[in-house]
Each structure stands twice: as structure tokens, then as C-alpha cells.
A and B are shown apart, each in its own frame.
Chain A
Amino acid sequence: MRLVILESSDSVAEWAAKYVMKRIKDFEAGPSKYFVLGLPTGSTPYGMYQKLIEYYKAGKVSFKFVKTFNMDEYVNLPRDHPESYHFYMWNNFFKHIDIDPKNVHILNGNATDLVEECSSYENEIEKAGGIDLFVGGIGPDGHIAFNEPGSSLVSRTRVKTLAHETLEANARFFGNDINKVPTQALTVGVGTVMDAKEVMILITGTHKAFALYKAIEEGVSHMWTVSAFQQHPHTLFICDEDATLELKVKTVKYFKALSAVHHKLIEDTIPIERSRSIH
């Protein structure tokens, strides 16, 4: 497990975007070899998408041979609702880049058979050859995707009934009316993300500091589902200074001492496969 501590949320966005770009380039994607990317929504990854769009426009990266799988989507929310994850991905990322719509996958929360939708999503991921890099964010309660506290750490893509706290937290996006917040979502499972070849989790802000502490300093717990990634062979946590406030000084110093090594990950000259083996 790696923890990269950066100055601000802007640097987290930039670092994450550079890493995604680097992985796509190193992969040498082509018509017969697609890079498969898992993607989150929310305020944390927004900056990363902005940066990726900037790099795309500057001709530094192309998504022509990239397949994407999104983490989750609300159930029964119209696709053009501003809070739907389809809406988010279209407006904040896909419409700006050269990705082929055929290669974009987002769970359909309006499918007639939701269970079938989830299992075919798992099949689609498998058919694509598995996910090369899954990017995620976390909630203040340490959830990844909609795998809220208590979710099984081997869970797969499924329909999830949302906790009341989640509804309360989300009400601000639905005109402060809790009755308008969708009560269910489709989400990839912790196990689905664990199957990715590599996982990069972005954490910014003081309100996520306790979750980061739970994620990396405490043991693996299904009450803090993101902690499962301690056991993933290639996990990168990218956080800003604010998110480290609940960590031990020792932990912070340890990872900061490794920063020179970590920064090599996004350098143009060294292939990632090489720097990856050095911890």
C-alpha cells in the first residue's frame, strides 16, 4: 500500500490525472488492447477529470482505446437528473473527450430487472479483461462506491438500499428534501474493486481525515469498507495535507519520506511497471 501526501486538493487532482494518463500511455492501448478504467463520481474526482480534459485537449492523452466502468448509479433517478451519475459523467468528462460511447459502461438504475443489470455488469467487466485501474473516492464514513459501513468485503455488483444517514447527507443535492433522495443504488461490490489490477483512492479535506485514519492505521474492517484495500497488492491512496490530520506523525513522516519514490510514478521517463515493484 502506498500513501501519497500532497499539499492541496488541487495537487491531488493533478497527481491523479497524471497517473491515469501515465498508465494509459504505458499500457500502449490499441484496437486490440483496451485499457480498462474504473471511475468514480463526486466532488473529489472532479478536479482529476478537469485535468484529464486539459491533457486531452493539449493532445497529451487519448481515450480512444480506453473502456470505462463506473462505480455506481442511483435507482429510479431519471438519467438527465443533475444528480444522476450519467449526467455527472457526461457533463464533467465524457462529452469533452474522444472516448467511444460503446466503451462506456454505467450501471442503469432504470433497468427493469436490476439484479440482471448487476450480474451482466460483472460479466461485462470480465469480458473486458478485468479492470486495469480502478479510481475511487471515499465517504466520511469510509465507504467506497455505495458500499456503506457493514457491507461485505467480498461483495459483488448489486442493488443496495441506502442508509438513512446517506439519504440525509444527500438531501442537500435534492432541494433539501429527503423524500426526493433515491433510496436505492446499484453499486460495484468491494470484491469487484478488489479484483482490479490496481486501485487509486483519492481523499481530500479534513472531513475525510478520520476515514483515512481508519483506512490505513487500523485493521481491515467491514465497518470502514475502504480499509479492505490494505490487502490489495497495488493500492495507492492519494490525499492532501488536510486529510492527514487524524494520522500519527509517524505515519505521515514515513510516507512523506517515500515521496521522492512515489513521485517517480508519474514521471514520463520511467515505465510504471519498473517503479511499481519498488515500495
Chain B
Amino acid sequence: MSSFELIQFINCKILRNHKLIQEHLWVRNGKIINPERVFFDEKIKADIVVDCNGCIVAPGFIDIQINGGFGIDFSNCESIESGLNHVAKNLLNSGVTSFCPTIVTSPNDVYKNVLPRIKKNKGGSHGATILGIHLEGPFININKKGAHPSECIKNLDAGFQSLIETYSTLENVSIITLAPELKQMDEVIRKLISLEITVSVGHSMGNLKDGEDAIISGASLITHLFNAMLPFHHRDPGLVGLLASNNIPLERTVYFGIISDGIHTHPAALRIAYRTHPDGLVLVTDGVSAMGLEEGKHNIGQLSVEIKNGMALVAGTTTLCGSIATMETCVNIFLKATGCSIEYALEAASLHPAEALGISHIKGTLNFGGDADFVFLDSDLNVLATWIAGECVYKKENVLIKQGGGII
């Protein structure tokens, strides 16, 4: 279908304004449009009518923290371009229409070689949209390094200059994760915000005050809540305390990524986060190269990984080596763990990440004027089809979508 055609999606429940409503969705030129204007001003009918067969239509999922998948590790990848394409394409199957490829703490030459080659990129049948890079490290606390290589971890003593020297370019960067207790934090955050880069706090030994200061400077996100930060303590609540801080400027919302793969965050911890600060909750996969691979042994780079019962383990051990749940799985696990509404679970994977990145006027909703990126889901929230800019870019086997007289 050509993009200028007027497409009407009928027989669907669409997610709009936090509610699933029985409503048609109208799309033209890659955007969601207001059919009332078409009706009264242009006085034309749809060129194409798509029968959604009663399914749920939700904004496409946005994954703001994903290290790779389907055998590819963005931080350790021979050809980053083909690696990105491979992941972008495969993400469509789990309803992801946009993502932030995440680069973990790496040597400078990796940044120098790889960052210029990860371009912001419009999605389509070739794969999900690349919103920009998420740089996770190296300006983190060595005591909360997680799986990051300690020899590459750096301080920020020279302020923004250290950052530029390390990364070389910030052109395609959307998010930078920093440990807020590092020196020069205020200057660095203010500078990054002025470049429209989202600052996330994480991999940190910081206390609540460090977190609050970072937020006041302009940080707006917490990286994988509970993981790689001090555990919540009632007299020293740490970064987790940001969820209930009363020192956050009134007009601001603190967003936080959370891995609901059923392993990295206990269901009770998911519930605590959800009940404490529902507006800021952003589902992230934090997926690693083994995401999307079948059960069994795989060799990824120099690493031998075994996938067993939905967990990625260092082969022959019981050591977890990252999250492998897709966004579709994370949404479902979150829904079951928290008992939240379907609407909320879907928005935690779409609206909330879009808000965290300040792009909710074009992504993450089905509002008029926004990008026509959406997913078809059954009532159990299984992804049936994925659409980017009004084009069907993925369809699950055996799913019938009737269009006009035919089937796509």
C-alpha cells in the first residue's frame, strides 16, 4: 500500500488516553490522523479498510535499553551495521517498533569506531526505528559495575571534557547512564540536557541526595531500577528512594527502567515500584545477545552461553549472563506480577519510554499526528502483527488480516 493512501483500521480496540476503546484508527502518510477532518473537510472515504478481527491495537513498544539479541552484541560486534539491521528486523516479532541500541562500558576505540556508525534511523519493513544510542558507562561506579569491564570504567574529574574525549561523538546519542555521585556531575548533566540527551542515573553507590541533585540538574531517568545500585535501606534509601522523593521539582517526573523478565527483578520488587511510582515506570528488556535464541548452547563472540528454562547462563554454570526476555514477554510478566490493567502494562512499554525520552508527541501513543507505529495483540497480549508508519512489517504465522476484499 502506498503511504499516501488513506487507511482505516476497523473492528479493533485501540489504546488511547489510557483506555482501550472500540474505535477505528485512521492512518495516512505514516501518521495517525483525525478522521473527523477527513470526513467533513476532504469528504473522502478510506482507500483501504483493514479488518483487525477484534484485536487490541496498542502503540508500538519502545525499548530504551537493549544490548543486542539474536546472536548480536552491539558492544562487541564485527559489523555493527549488519548487526543492527539483524536485531532491528527481529525485534519486530515482539512488537518493538523503536529502540535505543545500548553500548556498555567499552574501550575508547570501540566508542570511536562504533558510535559514528549507529545512526538514528527510521523504521520500516527492514526493522524497528533506531531512536539513538544508549551509552551505559563508562562513567559509573566500579563497585556497581555489574557485567561491565572494570578496566574501562572512568571518572568524570575533567567534567564534560572527559566525556567528549571518551565518546568522540554524541551525535546519535539519546541516553547516557552515569553514576550521579561522580564529580562534576551538575555541569555534565546540564551540558547533556542542552544537547537534548536524556541523562539516566545508575550503576551507582550514590545515596538519595546524589540522586536528587542529579534530577534537579536535569537527569530524568534511573537505569534498571534495583539492579546495580544500593539496595533500599529505610534510613538511607539510595537511588530507589527517588521513586518517593519529595525533593523532585513539581513539574518533573522521574522515570525508571525496570527489567520484568521474571529473573532480574523479583515480582514483589516489581509491585513495589509499580505501586510507589506508576507514572515513571518504563519496561526495558536490557536484552543481551542471547535474547531471541533457542534453548541450548550458543557461542557468542568469545562467550559460550547456555539457554535453559528461559535463562541465559554462562555455559556449564548457574551464573546468569543477562536478560533474554523479549518486550512481549516482559509486558506479560509485568501484567501478571503486578495485576495492573492491560492498558497500564502496554503504556509502560510505549507511552512511558516515549515520555522518558521527551518524544511522546510522535511516539508511544495513538494520538492524532503521531507516528503510525503500533502492534496488534490478542486478549492475552500476544503480538499478532507489527506496523511501522502505517505499514505491516511483521505478521505472526496463521494470523489473517482482511484488507478490502483480500488478505495480507
Contacts and interface: CB of A to CB of B under 8 A. Distances in A.
A87 B43 CA distance: 15
Interface string B19-63: 000001000000000011011101111000000000000000000
A101 interface: yes
A100 B45 contact: yes
Contact of A86 (B35, B38, B40, B42): B40
A101 B43 contact: yes
A79 B38 CA distance: 13
Interface string A58-86: 00000000000000000000011000001
A174 interface: no
A100 B46 CA distance: 10
A210 interface: no
A102 B44 CA distance: 7
A173 interface: no
Contacts of B36: 79-80, 86-87, 90, 95
Contacts of A101: 38-40, 42-45
Contacts, number: 27
A199 B24 CA distance: 33
A95 B35 contact: yes
B43 A102 contact: yes
Interface string A29-46: 000000000000000000
A94 B39 contact: yes
Nearest to A96: B24
Given A95-B24, A95-B35, A79 B43 contact: no
Contacts of A102: 43
A268 B36 CA distance: 34
Nearest to B26: A95
A256 to B, nearest CB: 39
B105 to A, nearest CB: 51
Nearest to B39: A101
Nearest to A91: B36
Nearest to B44: A101
Contacts of B45: 100-101
Contacts of B39: 90, 94-95, 101, 104
Nearest to B8: A95
B8 to A, nearest CB: 10
A102 to B, nearest CB: 5
Contacts of B43: 101-102, 104
Given A90-B36, A106-B40, 14 more contacts: A79-B36, A79-B40, A86-B40, A90-B40, A95-B24, A95-B36, A100-B45, A101-B39, A101-B40, A101-B42, A101-B43, A102-B43, A104-B39, A104-B40
Q: What 9 A-B pairs are tightest by C-beta distance, nearest first?
A: A101-B43, A101-B39, A102-B43, A90-B36, A86-B40, A90-B39, A100-B45, A94-B39, A95-B35
